[in-house]
Structure 1
Amino acid sequence: MTPSTAPAAAPWATATTPPTSTASCLRSKETMEMKHTTIALGIVSALALAPAAEASLSGCTFQQQGTRQTQVYFANGINTRYADAQIASDTLRSQYKRRLESQQENSSYQFFPAYNLSQGFTTDVIQVFQQKLHEDPDGSIAYMVYDMLQAGLSNDAIRQTVAIAVTDGYLLAATLTDELLDQLADTMAQIAADALKDLVQVNDLHSGLYADALLNGKRVLIVAHSQGNLFTNTSVARVIEMLPDHSNSIGYFGVASPAARTVNGAGYVTADDDRVIQLLRATETVLPANIDNDPGLFDDPRDFLNHGFLESYLDSRLKSRERIDDGIAKLADTLAYPSLIAGEGAIRATLTWGEQPDVDLHVFEPGGAHVYYRRPMGSDGTLDVDDTNGFGPENYYVACDAVSPGTYDIGVNYFRGSATETASVTLYLGNGTTFGPRQLSLTDDQGSSGDDGPKPAFSLTVSDDGQGNALYSVE
């Protein structure tokens, strides 16, 4: 590959971006002053003549409490709003954070949603069956229904086939009303396409979150509910493939699992009267129920389906709560703290993607340095993790005492691949804030010709607060 000349500014800078920032003006002014000084002091030694570097800002004002860090993620099920996933994550924080940190000296636990975007009940259900088909290509009866719809079979023929092919099939066939089958037939192609697209994006997003935390020396503990178990199985398996030396630093506990298996020895709890899982079991291979979760007629907090995460499993009156407590405690005790691979500081940008071979992270620094795979060392930061075999991650960071005023433009180039790819970029700042992951759709690979024109992800402007500390503005 032929190295390219680094441009003075990121190639995606728009006309609304001032061509010269205040920081660059100051830099030019300082340069002229130094030249004048050099002329006036022509007999001074070469060491004294060397121009002094512009003073860096103090870029880190946030200090993580505890040196041993664990990221706890809640992976939600179908038909869940982000606000509800956040409530579940916040509930886990309120129930477990203090307890876990008190049991482990010098530790901290952070709680986040690993959100599975809902596109509506019907699309989400089809997505589940797509995931089950991936688990067992020959065992998904539900997908057989979709195949028959696409083949143009009548509703009666579909019901008759299902009734014969499945144990308790007559019960299932009765749920396949004309209204439901007609709706599925009319919208099947688009729904299936939307569901598959979302499935790929969520898998990429979750695996990126987990790999990023591990690279940064943090353990990953996931609590998965319902469909979240299917996403978690895929993401955890992918992360272990990406970072095999970190396989003992990531783990999860499944709740109301529709999966056929667990990954990496994960535990789970599913009630024997969970109606959602019971219905799915009529057509799919599902892990067996492993608890009688009925508290009795007069003290039952569960929803009608006995399936909801908070009311039907996490409630302290239920036996399942003890199982969840034990599962989380076991992971907290046994997961290893990973070694720090990726640097962090005032600025940290990470990139992950899907199965295509190579997507590259690019950063244009305020002084004009272009940091990427051919030039991993910049004036301020370093590309310290690079990947060329799919998934990522890649990592760029600027140390706390090395950040400069001006603009850092962060983007990606689809270097090599044969299909549309999704890149996820996350930006972490030294004041404790996080932006992203931002997902970028990449259509055609560009090779080295795309190095000078990467697709923009973030534009980060750093300024001085007047006391030598960095102020951040992100677009």
Structure 2
Amino acid sequence: MNKTPRQFARALLAAASLLAQGAWATSLCPAHTHTLAFFNGVWNTPDAAAGGARALLATLDEALRPHPARATLAIGAEVFYNASGLQRGRRQGIEDLVEVFAQRAAELDDAVRQRWELFWEIVDGRQNGWRRIAAVLPRAYDTAVALTEARNARLLAQATSFAADPPTGIDYAAHRLRLRALHALGRGVLLVGHSQGNFFLNAAYRTLPDPAALAAVHLAPASARTSGPHLLSGNDMVIAALRGVVPGTPPPPNLWIPPSARDASGHQLIETYLDADRNGRSSAGTLMADGLLALKTPEPRASPGYFTATLAWDGEGDIDLHVMEPGGDHVHYGARVGASGTLDLDNTAGHGPEHYHATCDPQRLQAGIFSVGLNNYAAPAGRQAMLQVATADHGVIRTVQVDAGPPRGEAGDTSPLIVLRVAVARSGPAWTVSVH
């Protein structure tokens, strides 16, 4: 950013004070060295996805116990969520199946990428599309008829109970931004995808130019491509059903998990692949442990916080993160240290990220409203900015994409565009955080 001499001096003083800030007590923040990033499959609610992340973390911990390095590792789990069409009440969740088709097609070529629209016409009951898509993909006609007939039936309800959430552009962008924040925090990240989540994993894996800090494991991949080792049971009927129906071919089965009444589909994460009574759990644990132990953690450039705010945008130019703290401090590039937090990343070249962390010291953290926003200092009008709030315990809790507006320079520093309000509350020793 083009700062005045006075602002530059203040920024230097702020940078020096980061050492003191980093030395504060961290009782409100777990000291994680690594993060397990879980990309859920279709039609998971947020609670169900969080349950899957916990189950994966427990499986990983079991696999790491014999390793001497386990004592030096502090691993947290986060859900890299994608929102479900089933949650939004759309067509009994059929749109999520169509998005699987779309994602698989997008992995291949531009010509096949558009064929999902024809597929949608079939599933949505528009008869005039049947003949067109039957000429494009083998078995498509029969598949469309079967899906149309079964869409409200119990079979479809059972088949969709394992799934995740439809991919949107904001989901991809939110995942990329969180990965960049974790990299800035110095975390090694193990990406684990299940079912449709593997499409999101593949997109996120290409985000960072530092492959040594990332490892990927694919469980029951619906994707035709993988970014790391995979685990696919020979009796996973859901992935088997995708062969010949959607473009591309999933990776070959490499394990046979015996059938169980708990999951007739052979596809669900917890009920099949992480079932403690069958062989999938130990195999998944081994793949995850091997990937995590091979990671090299990056040099940290930012600090963890009770909550963090991360800003990025979609092109060149200078956009600034601003945080108004409850006690009245206005934290931004010209005053990077407030009473409760610090702006520890200030990007001036474009894209971001900029990063603010609220202190982990309960003696310094303030209760009240933190107003989080931005100022388009010197970026072209029309830039889309993404602001993401995450907590030390739960990872991302809100991501918002907004138009950054016209460039306003220093004049905009006094009246930034407020995008989110983070409410921090205290009741005795317990602290809570929510976003509005």
Query: When the two structures are superposed, what TM-score results if normalisation uses the length of structure 2?
Result: 0.73
Aligned to 1:342: 302
Task: Tell me which of 232, 246, 249 is aligned to 1:286.
Answer: 249
- In the TM superposition, residue 303 of structure 1 has moved relative to its aligned partner by 2.2
Distance 2:233 2:180 in 1: 31
Aligned to 1:255: 219
Aligned to 2:131: 160
Please tell me whether the aligned partners of residues 412 and 456 of structure 1 are also in contact (alpha carbons under 8 angstroms).
yes
Verify: 1:73 aligned to 2:46, yes or no: no
Verify: 1:270 aligned to 2:270, yes or no: no
- In the TM superposition, residue 253 of structure 1 has moved relative to its aligned partner by 0.6
- In the TM superposition, residue 385 of structure 1 has moved relative to its aligned partner by 1.4
Counterpart amino acid of residue 122 in structure 1: I
- In the TM superposition, residue 77 of structure 1 has moved relative to its aligned partner by 0.7
Query: Identity percentage over the alignment?
Result: 23
Aligned to 1:19: none
Please tell me whether the aligned partners of residues 249 and 338 of structure 1 are also in contact (alpha carbons under 8 angstroms).
yes
Aligned to 1:125: 97
Identify which range, 226-235 or 406-415, moves more after superposition: 406-415
Task: Tell me which of 388, 401, 406 is aligned to 1:446.
Answer: 406
Q: Residues 251-291 of structure 1, C-alpha deviation per residue, up to 9 Å, x if partnerless?
A: 2211111112123xx11122344232233232211332222
Q: Residues 343-385 of structure 1, C-alpha deviation per residue, up to 9 Å, x if partnerless?
A: 346x663314463546431123567553334x15345554331
Q: Which runs of 5+ in 1 are unaligned?
A: 5-55, 181-194
Distance 2:365 2:38 in 1: 36
Q: Where does 1:21-60 land on structure 2 (aligned, <5 Å)? A: 60=25
Distance 1:178 1:472 in 2: 47
Distance 1:352 1:130 in 2: 29
Q: Where does 1:343-422 land on structure 2 (aligned, <5 Å)? A: 343-344=303-304, 349-353=308-312, 355-357=314-316, 359-365=319-325, 369-373=329-333, 375=334, 377-378=336-337, 380=339, 382-387=342-347, 392-397=352-357, 403=364, 408-413=370-375, 416=379, 421=384
Q: Residues 20-52 of structure 1, C-alpha deviation per residue, up to 9 Å, x if partnerless?
A: xxxxxxxxxxxxxxxxxxxxxxxxxxxxxxxxx
- In the TM superposition, residue 59 of structure 1 has moved relative to its aligned partner by 6.5
- Structure 1 residues 175, 277: closer, same or farther in 2, change over 3 A? same
Task: Tell me which of 273, 279, 285 is aligned to 1:313.
Answer: 273
RMSD: 4.1
- In the TM superposition, residue 305 of structure 1 has moved relative to its aligned partner by 2.3
SS at match of 1:457: strand
- In the TM superposition, residue 226 of structure 1 has moved relative to its aligned partner by 0.7
Bigger Rg, structure 1 or 2: 1
Q: Residues 158-205 of structure 1, C-alpha deviation per residue, up to 9 Å, x if partnerless?
A: 33343343334454354364897xxxxxxxxxxxxxx98x61222222
Aligned to 1:15: none
- In the TM superposition, residue 218 of structure 1 has moved relative to its aligned partner by 1.7
Distance 1:472 1:87 in 2: 21
- Structure 1 residues 343, 84: closer, same or farther in 2, change over 3 A? closer
SS at match of 1:165: coil
Please tell me whether the aligned partners of residues 204 and 352 of structure 1 are also in contact (alpha carbons under 8 angstroms).
no
Aligned to 2:175: 206
Q: Where does 1:178-257 land on structure 2 (aligned, <5 Å)? A: 199-238=168-207, 240=208, 244=209, 246-257=210-221
Distance 1:382 1:169 in 2: 55
Distance 1:349 1:110 in 2: 16
Please tell me whether the aligned partners of residues 159 and 176 of structure 1 are also in contact (alpha carbons under 8 angstroms).
no
Counterpart amino acid of residue 193 in structure 2: A
SS at match of 2:302: coil
Identify which range, 141-150 or 410-419, moves more after superposition: 141-150
Identify which range, 114-123 or 350-359, moves more after superposition: 350-359
Please tell me whether the aligned partners of residues 302 and 344 of structure 2 are also in contact (alpha carbons under 8 angstroms).
yes
- Structure 1 residues 160, 247: closer, same or farther in 2, change over 3 A? same
- Structure 1 residues 338, 173: closer, same or farther in 2, change over 3 A? same
Q: Residues 108-162 of structure 1, C-alpha deviation per residue, up to 9 Å, x if partnerless?
A: 1112322222121122223323323432222347515158679x9962x533343
Identify which range, 70-79 or 167-176, moves more after superposition: 167-176
Please tell me whether the aligned partners of residues 315 and 350 of structure 2 are also in contact (alpha carbons under 8 angstroms).
yes
Distance 2:433 2:137 in 1: 58
Distance 2:238 2:381 in 1: 39
Aligned to 2:13: none
Verify: 1:324 aligned to 2:287, yes or no: no
Distance 1:111 1:80 in 2: 17
Distance 2:232 2:365 in 1: 53
Distance 1:75 1:231 in 2: 7
Distance 1:352 1:470 in 2: 28
Query: When the two structures are superposed, what TM-score results if normalisation uses the length of structure 1?
Result: 0.68
Verify: 1:95 aligned to 2:55, yes or no: no
Q: Where does 1:415-430 land on structure 2 (aligned, <5 Å)? A: 416=379, 421=384, 423-428=386-391
Please tell me whether the aligned partners of residues 38 and 79 of structure 2 are also in contact (alpha carbons under 8 angstroms).
yes
- Structure 1 residues 141, 438: closer, same or farther in 2, change over 3 A? closer
- In the TM superposition, residue 446 of structure 1 has moved relative to its aligned partner by 3.1
